[in-house]
Amino acid sequence: MREIVNEGIELLLKIIGGLLVISASGLLGILFSNRLSLRYKELNNLRRFMQMLETEVTYGATPLPVALKNTSNKAEGLISSFFICISNSLTDRSFYTVWDAWTYAAEAVLVGSSLQRADIELIKSFGSILGCSDREDQKKHFELFYLQLKHQEDAAQAEIKRSAKMYRSLGFLLGTAVFIVLI
Amino acid sequence: MDIDLIFRIAAIGIVVAVLNRVLNQSGREEMAMMTTLAGVVVVLMMVISLISNLFDSVRTMFHL
């Protein structure tokens, strides 16, 4: 009688442990998959809000810190914190140039996010031309930046289509494999 | 020598087959090949003591 109860408890513990392992591994897979789709969403957001920023700067002729703050109020999440960081460092006069503030904010805010290294380098390279030339030149630089961002967006979209489902299934399958080997 | 081992090997075989299919489908063919090899190595490690016993008994039987 006692052995049967013990065996039942052992089986139950094995099942609970197995469920934990499989769900943990599956959730990891889902996490990786979500990071890909988050990257695409962030790139898309970045492009839209840069367009808003451009409109404010070129047509409203508002100074950069104010324009950044206004745009960041309309934005949400990562891009908002990025813009707010630049705006604050510009108003605090902690940096000499817009480029320095931009690079600092990119390193501080964007590095830990779902954006890849290439995206962050692209964003940093844009900071070097902000506010350095006249209105027409700025517009042309903005256009170039949008084109490059769109290119990265398309790459992110292709990556999602290729790998999202794979990461999810991979998570669950590897969890099952570990469960089988251990039990 | 219990029936558990056979079930376990069968389950690993199924998991490796599904993994192989998923990875081939997404285009990562070299990773599929690697997981197949890893599956073979894992099964081999599970079975190695039994194989050693088998060789021992074959050796004692034929050198007798």
Is A165 within 8 Å of B15 when comparing Cβ atoms? Answer: no
- Exposure letters A66-95 (e unless 16+ CB within 10 A, then b): ebbbbbbeebeebbbbbbbbbbebbeeeeb
Digit-coded pLDDT (tens) for A85-120: 878 877 777 777 777 888 888 888 777 777 888 888
pLDDT for res B1: 66
Predicted local confidence at residue A57, as pLDDT: 76
- B31 and chain A: CB distance < 8 Å anywhere? no
Q: What are the domain boundaries of chain B?
A: 3-62
Which pLDDT tens digit goes with each residue over B11-43? 999 999 999 999 998 888 999 999 999 999 999
Instruction: Label residue B59 by pLDDT band (50, 70, 90).
Output: very high
Select from A11, A181, A183 the residue whose CB has the most chain B CBs within 10 Å, as the one to mutate to test that interface. A181
What does the alpha-carbon distance between residue A120 and residue A148 come to, in Å, rounded to a whole number? 12
Q: Which amino acid is at A137?
A: D
Average confidence (pLDDT) over A155-175: 90
A/B interface, count of CB pairs below 8 Å = 31
Domain locations along chain A: 2-182
> Chain A partners of B26 at a C-beta cutoff of 8 Å?
162-163, 165-166
For residue B54, give how far its alpha carbon lies from the nearest alpha carbon of chain A (Å): 23
Query: At residue A64, does pLDDT exceed 70?
Result: yes
CB atoms within 10 A of CB B35: 20
Amino acid (1-letter code) at residue A53: L
Quote the ipTM score: 0.78
The distance of B19 to chain A (nearest Cα, Å) reads 7
User: From CA A136, how far away is CA A89, in angstroms rounded?
Assistant: 27
A105: left (phi over 0), alpha (psi -120 to 50) or beta: alpha
Contact A113, A80 (CB under 8 A): no
Is the pLDDT at A4 greater than 80? The verdict is yes
- Please judge whether B22 and A177 are an interchain contact, meaning their C-beta atoms are less than 8 angstroms apart: no
Residue with tokens 């074959």: B58
> Read out DSSP for A26-86?
HHHHHHHHHHHHHHHHHHHHHHHHHHHHHHHHHHH---HHHHHHHHHHHS-HHHHHHHHHH
Q: Is the pLDDT of residue B51 over 80?
A: yes
A84 within 8 A of A69, measured Cβ to Cβ: yes
B24 CB neighbours in chain A (<8 A) are none
Q: Does B22 touch chain A (CB under 8 A)?
A: yes
Single pTM value for the model: 0.75
H or E element in which residue B22 lies: helix B3-25
- Residue A155 makes CB contacts below 8 A (sequence gap 6+) with none
Farthest-apart Cα atoms in chain B, separation: 55
Q: Does A58 have pLDDT greater than 80?
A: no
